Each structure stands twice: as C-alpha cells, then as structure tokens.
C-alpha cells in the first residue's frame, strides 16, 4: 500500500494502478461503516484508492472542524487490512493551494433542504471537495454510505449533471447491535448520550412500521434530552412522500453537543 500526500505523488501512484479503479472518500476516523465501503470496493474493482481529508469547506463556523477526530495511524491499519492500494491524505494546502476556492459546486434545490437547511453551505463544501477528489483520483467507481443519504443522492446527481464518467455506488448503513448507526461523531457521545442516541433508530423503525412520522415523533417525545431537528418521510429522491411503494425516512437530532443523522428505507403498503 502506498501512502501519498502531494499531487505529483498521487499522479505517479494513480498511473501505476491497474484495472478499473475504485475510490472511497473519507474524512478519516475510520470505523466499520468505512470498512464495509472498502471491502465492497475491493471486491468489485481492480484497484482501490482511499482518500482521507477533513474538508474545512463543509464545516460551519460553529461546527466541529477543530475537534473532528484525526486517527491517521489506525486508519492506515484498516486500509492495509482492507487491501487498499493507494491512500491520498493531503494537507489543506495541497487541496486548497490558493486558500478557500472562489468557485464552488452549487448543489441545486436538493442541497438546501434537510441537512442543507440546517447546515448552510454544507453541500457546496461536500460537492466541491468530492468533485476535486474525483478529478485528482480519476476513478471508474466511487462508493459512498447510505448513512449520508442526501449526500449520496447529491453526488449521484453531480456525476449525472456534470457528465462525470464515474459509477457512484451506495453501500447500506452499518449499525451497532443495538441499532445505532456507525458514525465518526459517535466518539463524542458520553455513555448516557450514547444511550439517548438510540432514539434515532427507534423513531425511524416506529415510523416505518406505522407508515407515517407521527409514531416516530412520539418516540422522540419520550427522550426530551435529544433535540429533534427533523424527521421526515420522502420519496427515494427526497421529493414529496408517495402514497404507496418505496419511500425514505430521514432524521437529524442533537444529542448534547453532537448532531447525528440516520435514515431508513420503507415500502409503504
């Protein structure tokens, strides 16, 4: 496994890869959810590239950029274990040599609802760095988790609308045995907060069983220390909820100082 941090090193490393190339993009602090992405990509591609970069562009001024966990050595161990061929872990200066980029990807209407409404500029930052990393790594396939469902939809839309020759593949959310969706931010949770955080998955399941959000809202009401941001039922493309058939439940909530998101697919009878 080669680990590089500069553009010339990346160009040389990329040129040496064989077969179709898959990329998994991360901000590090890798967990079993990332491992599922890496293993799936490893199984489906000739070569596997992992990017690790905590992208300042996608953090708001009051968000957790500074304290976001940085665990490079452990991340590289997991990468090696998963058969990664090339790791690109650039510095901020390598990614943004002239400072904050003046030109950013506009995520369009899907980028200003839900996560985009609560975190202004978030998806501009995500799509801008994903677009740059696509240009730099030139993958044939890219793997993203369904845990970040809106992000996955927007990256698919960007690939389609910008004619990027990249097959964007979604990988199901990995959960702890008690239902908590894996997230690098779970590390922030104190034991009592982690217990309270289980309400996200409980509410999604209750709403899925009932086929509407009311049952999920009732679950949140039982755990007042968790501050609900949203719980919505939409169609699979995040448009208005259908009467029948495939739909998506999405939620976001604050558990203490930590903001968590989760979602679940449902089939409405």
CB of 269 to ligand PAF, least distance (A): 33
Least Cβ distance, residue 26 to ligand PAF (angstroms): 5
Nearer CB in complex with ligand PAF: 142/204: 142
Strand 245-255 and strand 258-268: pairing?
A: antiparallel
**Residues with catalytic annotation?**
34
**Can you tell me the distance from the alpha carbon of 113 to that of 230, in angstroms, rounded to the nearest whole number?**
11
* Burial 122-140, CB ≥16 within 10 A → b, else e: bbbbbbbbbbbbbebbbbb
If the CB atoms of residues 151 and 186 are measured against ligand PAF, the closer one turns out to be 151
Nearest distance from residue 135's CB to ligand PAF, in Å? 14
Strand (E) or helix (H) holding 195: helix 191-197
Interaction site with ligand PAF (CB under 6 A):
25-27, 55, 58, 126, 129-130, 148, 151
**Residue whose CB is less far from ligand PAF, 144 or 220:** 144
- Using a 10 angstrom Cβ sphere, with 0-12 exposed, 13-18 middle and 19 or more buried, the burial of residue 62 is exposed
Give dist(CA 77, CA 95) in Å, integer.
24
**Cα dihedral 63, 185, 86, 83 in deg (nearest 10):** -170
Q: How far is the CB of 249 from ligand PAF (least distance, A)?
A: 20
Residue-wise burial string across 6-35, b where 16 or more C-beta atoms lie within 10 A, e elsewhere: eeebbeebbeebeeebbbbbbbbbbbebbb
CB of 29 to ligand PAF, least distance (A): 9
Q: Which is nearer to ligand PAF, 25 or 250 (CB)?
A: 25
Q: List the Cα angle 48/30/164 in 5-degree steps.
A: 45
Q: Kindly tell me which of 25 and 196 has the beta carbon lying closer to ligand PAF.
A: 25
Alpha helices in 25-99 (DSSP H): 32-44, 72-81, 92-95
CB of 102 to ligand PAF, least distance (A): 19
Q: Are 237 and 152 in contact (CB under 8 A)?
A: no
Give the CA angle between residues 11, 14, 19 to the nearest 5°: 155
For residue 63, which of 188, 225, 224, 173 has the smallest C-alpha distance?
Answer: 188
Minimum CB distance to ligand PAF smaller for 141 or for 206: 141
């Amino acid at each position: 496994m080669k680990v590089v941090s500069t553009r010339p090193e990346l160009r040389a490393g990329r040129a040496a890869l064989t077969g179709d190339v898959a990329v998994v993009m991360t901000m590090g602090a890798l967990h079993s959810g990332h491992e599922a992405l890496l293993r799936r990509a490893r199984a489906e591609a000739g070569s596997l590239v992992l990017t690790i970069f905590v992208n300042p562009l996608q953090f708001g001024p009051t968000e957790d950029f500074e304290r976001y966990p940085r665990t490079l050595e452990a991340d590289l161990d997991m990468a090696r274990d998963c058969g990664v061929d090339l790791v690109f872990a650039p510095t901020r200066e390598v990614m943004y040599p002239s400072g904050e980029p003046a030109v950013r990807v506009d995520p369009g209407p899907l980028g200003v609802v839900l996560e985009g409404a609560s975190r202004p500029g978030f998806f501009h930052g995500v799509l801008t760095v994903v677009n740059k990393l696509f240009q730099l790594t030139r993958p044939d396939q890219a793997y993203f988790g369904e845990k970040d469902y809106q992000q996955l939809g927007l990256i698919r839309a960007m690939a389609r609308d910008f004619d990027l020759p990249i097959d964007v593949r979604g990988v199901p959310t990995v959960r702890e045995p008690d239902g908590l969706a894996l997230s690098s931010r779970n590390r922030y949770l104190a034991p009592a907060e982690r217990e309270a955080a289980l309400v996200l998955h409980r509410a999604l399941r209750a709403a899925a069983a009932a086929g509407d959000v009311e049952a999920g809202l009732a679950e949140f009401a039982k755990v007042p220390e968790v501050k609900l941001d949203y719980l919505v039922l939409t169609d699979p493309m995040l448009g208005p909820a259908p009467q029948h058939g495939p739909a998506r439940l999405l939620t976001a909530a604050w558990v203490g100082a930590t903001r968590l998101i989760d979602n679940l697919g449902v089939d409405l009878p």
